[in-house]
Amino acid sequence: MRPIGIGIVGGGYMGKAHSVAMSSVGAVFGTALRPRLEMIAATTPESAERYRSAYGFARATSDWRELVNDPLNEAIVIASPQELHREIALAAFALGKPVMCEKPLGASLADALAMTEAAEASGLPNMVGFNYIRTPASQYARHLIASGEIGRVVWFRGEHTEDFDADATKPASWRNFGMANGTMGDLSPHMINAALALIGPIQSLVADIETVHPTRPGPQGPVEVTNDDQAQFLCRFANGAMGHLSFSRVATGRKMGYAYEITGTTGAIRFDQEDQNALWLYKSEGPTAQRGFRKILTGPEHPDYLPFCQGPGHGTGYQDQIIIEARDFLTAIETGTAVWPTFRDGLAVMQVIDAAHRSHSSRQWVNL
Q: Is pLDDT at 218 greater than 90 in this prediction?
A: yes
HSE of 110 in the Cβ direction (CA atoms, 13 Å)? 2
Residue 341 — pLDDT band, cuts 50, 70, 90? very high
Band (pLDDT 50/70/90 cuts) for residue 259 is very high
Each residue's pLDDT tens digit, 303-319: 999 999 999 999 999 99
Q: What is the mean pLDDT of the chain?
A: 97
CA angle 32–34–40, rounded 5-degree value: 150
Query: What count of residues does the chain have?
Result: 368
- Kindly state the DSSP code that residue 318 receives in the 8-state scheme: H
As a whole number of angstroms, the distance between CA 222 and CA 347 comes to 36
What is the reported pTM? 0.96
The C-alpha atoms of residue 296 and residue 269 are separated, in whole angstroms, by 11
The backbone region for 96, taken as left when phi is positive above 0, alpha when psi lies in -120 to 50, beta otherwise, is left
**Predicted local confidence at residue 1, as pLDDT:** 86
Instruction: Give me the helices (H) in the chain, please.
Output: 13-29, 45-55, 64-69, 85-94, 109-122, 136-146, 183-186, 188-198, 318-335, 343-362
Give the closest residue to 250 by CA, choosing from 207, 218, 213. Answer: 213
Closest CA to 58 of 93, 102, 8: 8
How do residues 157-209 score in pLDDT, each as one tens digit? 999 999 999 999 999 999 999 988 999 999 999 999 999 999 999 999 999 99
Domains of the chain, first to last: 2-131 (3.40.50.720), 136-316+348-362 (3.30.360.10)
In whole angstroms, how large is the CA radius of gyration of the chain?
Answer: 21
The H or E element spanning position 7 is: strand 2-9
Let me know: does 96 contact 118? Beta carbons within 8 Å.
no
pLDDT at site 350: 97
User: Distance between CA 9 and CA 325 in Å, rounded?
Assistant: 17
* Residue 34 confidence (pLDDT) above 90: yes
Residue range 46-99, pLDDT digits in tens: 999 999 999 999 999 999 999 999 999 999 999 999 999 999 999 999 999 999
Using one digit for the tens of pLDDT, what is the confidence trace for 238-251? 999 999 999 999 99
Q: Report the C-alpha gap between 294 and 280 in whole angstroms.
A: 5
| Residues 7-33: tens digit of each pLDDT | 999 999 999 999 999 999 999 999 999
Residue 286 · residue 119 · CB < 8 Å: no
